[in-house]
Amino acid sequence: MSSAARESHAPPPKGKPVTLSTLAGKKALGEPIAMVTAYDYPSAQVAEEAGVDMVLVGDSGAMTVLGYPSTVPVTLDEMLVLAAAARRGLKTPMLIGDLPFGSYEGSDVEAIKTAQRFVKEAGCDAVKLERGGSSVDRARAIVESGIPVMGHVGLTPQTATALGGYRSQGRTTDKALRIVEDALALEEAGCFAIVFEAVPAELSEAVMPQIGIPVIGIGAGPATDGQVLVFHDLLGIYDGHAARFVKRYASIRQDMVDGVARYAEDVRARRYPEPEHTYTMAPDEAERLREVLARHARHGAHDLLG
């Protein structure tokens, strides 16, 4: 085992931006790639400080931060606000913007224009789109326009209804082969990486030797080149349904509820603010202020400073 592979748990050196060749190098060395979603300045800062390799401004933000029931309703303008905020919190990880449903499927021109907005207006390094099929052409067009593209196959939430709902995909050989075909087509179209979502571990393991670009799994077993989880799922902030593949590393939502509840109790019991949270005046200034206001109350003079 090379020394690089032995140190594969090490985060990237701080401040050295992760590039496409960093990711390709990690795949070549068998170093796992860590990716997480982020949707705003503080979550991006957390991802930066934690030393992940890639940050995805996922359209999952539709549900986790915007409160929509699915990823479908989020608009391009909403995604750009989230992505620009995440950009301001990041230096090192590669930043990928997720093209929202309805913003890229119509034509290559539409796909390129949308991808350009993520790069120009939000400062993203790359974009992600969902599905094989016509998305392969859209991916190729965006790559040819000079913007790196990440593919996404398996469970593709933007078209979950057509897939029979939010359920794992590719559990029979024929269905698995269709996913493999999509993945290979996206690689051939020039994608620099590809997400496998909610597919059997056996599928990932069997196809990995045939895919030359980094494969990032979410519910795709341990054989992929890297893993991605949704920030709000892994930290226990989102209180909606958690998929089988989610591992909770914290229970931040409960901490937040407890904190706000204690604050509200303190306000109601007049325990907050205490002297250390309070600004003061010099005693003579305070005394003068009280006198002026008392005079004002008695005589109703308009000119308080006169």
Question: Which residues contribute to the site for ligand KIV (CB under 6 A)?
Answer: 37, 56, 58-60, 98, 152, 195, 197, 218, 228, 230
Active-site residue (options: 105, 130, 187, 197): 197
CB nearer ligand KIV, residue 136 or residue 218: 218
CB nearer ligand KIV, residue 55 or residue 176: 55
Smallest gap from residue 61 Cβ to ligand KIV (A): 7
CB nearer ligand KIV, residue 32 or residue 292: 32
Let me know: does 70 contact 157? Beta carbons within 8 Å: yes
The residue sitting closest to ligand KIV, measured at its beta carbon, is 58
Smallest gap from residue 56 Cβ to ligand KIV (A): 6
- Which structure tokens are listed for 164? 């029979």
Catalytic (active site) residue 202: no
Smallest gap from residue 58 Cβ to ligand KIV (A): 2
CB nearer ligand KIV, residue 92 or residue 224: 224
Smallest gap from residue 143 Cβ to ligand KIV (A): 19
CB nearer ligand KIV, residue 185 or residue 234: 234
Smallest gap from residue 252 Cβ to ligand KIV (A): 17
Please name the amino acid found at residue 92.
Answer: T
Let me know: does 127 contact 98? Beta carbons within 8 Å: yes
Asked if the bond preceding 273 is cis, omega within 30° of 0, the reply is yes
Let me know: does 169 contact 155? Beta carbons within 8 Å: yes
Q: In whole angstroms, what is the distance from residue 100 CA to residue 60 CA?
A: 10
Distances in Å between the Cα of 184 and the Cα atoms of 133, 152, 188, 200 are 11, 11, 6, 17
CB nearer ligand KIV, residue 63 or residue 184: 63
Smallest gap from residue 38 Cβ to ligand KIV (A): 10
Instruction: Give the residue numbers annotated as catalytic, written as ranges.
Output: 197
